[in-house]
A = this chain, B = another copy of it.
Amino acid sequence: MPFLWNAWYVAALACEVNSNRPLARTLLGEAVVLYRDQAGQAVALSDRCPHRFAPLHRGRIHQGELECPYHGLRFDGSGHCVHNPHGDGRIPPAAHVRSFPLQERYGMVWIWMGEPQHAAQTDLLPFEYLNPEHNVTASGYLRTRAHYQLSADNLLDLSHFQFLHPATLGSEQMSAGACTFFEQGETVWSRRIMHNEKLQDFVANAFGVAPGSNADRRLDVQWNAPGLLTIEVGVTPSGMPPEFGRMSLSGHFLTPETDRSTHYFFAFGLPKAMGEAAGALVEYAVQGLMEPFKNEDLPMLEAQQKALGDSDFWSAQPVSLAMDGAALRSRRIMERKIAEEQRASGMRQTTTVIDSTAIMH
A323 in the interface (beta carbon within 8 A): yes
Contact status A322-B88, CB under 8 Å? yes
CA distance A308 to B135 in the complex (A): 44
Given A94-B319, A321-B92, residue A86 in contact with residue B52 (CB < 8 A): no
Report whether over half of chain A's contact residues are helix, strand or loop; otherwise say mixed: loop
Contact status B175-A319, CB under 8 Å? no
Number of interface residues of A (CB under 8 A): 46
Contact status B86-A321, CB under 8 Å? yes
Contact partner, A319, options B87, B95, B317, Cβ 8 Å? B95
Contact status A319-B92, CB under 8 Å? yes
A289 in the interface (beta carbon within 8 A): no
Per-position 1/0 for A34-58, Cβ under 8 A of B: 0000000000000010111111001
CB distance from A164 to the nearest CB of B (A): 6
Contact status A163-B68, CB under 8 Å? yes
A160 in the interface (beta carbon within 8 A): yes
A6 in the interface (beta carbon within 8 A): no
Q: What B residues does A208 contact at CB under 8 A?
A: none
Q: List the B residue with the shortest CB-CB distance to A85.
A: B175
Q: List the B residue with the shortest CB-CB distance to A51.
A: B319
Contact status B307-A53, CB under 8 Å? yes
CB distance from A186 to the nearest CB of B (A): 23
CA distance A162 to B72 in the complex (A): 8
Contact status B94-A159, CB under 8 Å? no
Q: What B residues does A94 contact at CB under 8 A?
A: 319
CA distance A44 to B99 in the complex (A): 52
Q: List the B residue with the shortest CB-CB distance to A305.
A: B53
Contact status B53-A304, CB under 8 Å? yes
CB within 8 Å of B: which residues of A?
Answer: 31, 48, 50-55, 58, 67-72, 84-88, 90, 92, 94-95, 153, 157, 159-160, 162-164, 175, 179, 300, 303-304, 307-308, 316-323
Further 18 A-B residue pairs, CB within 8 A, beyond A54-B303, A68-B163, A72-B163: A48-B307, A50-B318, A51-B318, A53-B303, A53-B318, A55-B303, A58-B303, A67-B163, A69-B300, A70-B163, A84-B321, A85-B175, A86-B179, A86-B321, A87-B321, A87-B322, A92-B319, A94-B319
